[in-house]
Amino acid sequence: MKIELKKYDEQVTVWPKSGYHIMAQYDEEEIIVYQSYRKDIGEFAAKNQFFGGEFSLTRMTWIKPNFFWMMYRNGWGTKEGQEVVLAIHLKISAFHTYLQNAVYSSYDASLGMSREEWQTQVKTSSVRLQWDPDHDPYGNKLERRAIQIGLRDDFIKSFAKEDILLIEDISEFVKEQYSFVQNGELEKLRVPAEKPFVFKDEELNKKLKISGNHE
C-alpha cells in the first residue's frame, strides 16, 4: 500500500478533540479519500484504475477523506455492498475544485445567505458537503466533526477517471486492523497517518468553518 501508516495510539493524542477538521493524509500533489463498494464495482476500479463497469455516473457518489469515518460508515468493510474498501489518491487540485463548488446538504444560517438562496444553490450545484460527528475505532461519536463530499453530473465524471492518481484496494488491511479492534487490542492498531487539512484559500476555509495554518 502506498499509504503512510502510524499507530493509532500515537495519533489519537495529537488529533484535535473538537471542531470542524478535514482529517486526511495528503501532500502537495494528492489527498487520499475513501469509498466502499460491492465486489464488482470495487474490483473493477482497483484493476482498471478508474471507475467504470457497474459504477453509476448518474447517482451521487460520496467521498470521505477521514479513515475512521469510513470505517464507521462501512462497519470496517463488513456491511453488505461495502466489502471492498478503496483508498483513492486524488489530485489535490480536484479536491479544491470540489469544495469551491460545494453547497451544504442542509441549511445553515451562519453562512450568511437566506434559505431561498441556499435552495437555489442546492438545485444548481453538483457538489454537496456535510459535516458529521467523527467516530472512534469502536464507532462511538466524537466531538470532532468529519467531512464528506457528494459528487454528481460533471464532477462525478471527472472524479471517475481524470481526477484520480491511484486506486488501492485496502480491504485486507481493513480486515486485519478490525480484528485488533474486535479484540480490544488498540495498541496494535495501525491506521493511515492523518492530520488536519487546511486550504491556502482563506475564503474557502471560512466557508468550510475550518481554521489553522496550512502545512
* Per-residue model confidence as pLDDT tens digits over 34-85: 999 999 999 999 999 999 999 999 999 999 999 999 999 999 999 999 999 9
In the chain the first and final C-alpha atoms are separated, in Å, by 24
**Interacting residues of 110 by C-beta distance below 8 A, sequence separation 6+:** none
DSSP string, 104-117: ESS--GGGS--HHH
For residue 57, give the DSSP letter. S
Q: Check whether 214 has a pLDDT greater than 50.
A: no
pLDDT bin (cut points 50, 70, 90) of residue 215 is very low
Average pLDDT over residues 179-185: 97
CA distance 62 to 128: 9
pTM of the entire predicted model = 0.94
Identify the pLDDT of residue 212: 57
- Those residues whose C-beta lies under 8 Å from the C-beta of residue 34, and which sit 6 or more positions away, are 63, 64, 65, 66, 67, 70, 85, 86, 87, 88
Q: pLDDT digits over 9-34, tens only?
A: 999 999 999 999 999 999 999 999 99
Separation in Å, CA 54 to CA 41, 100, 120, 132, 189: 6, 29, 32, 28, 33
Segment 102-117 mean pLDDT: 81
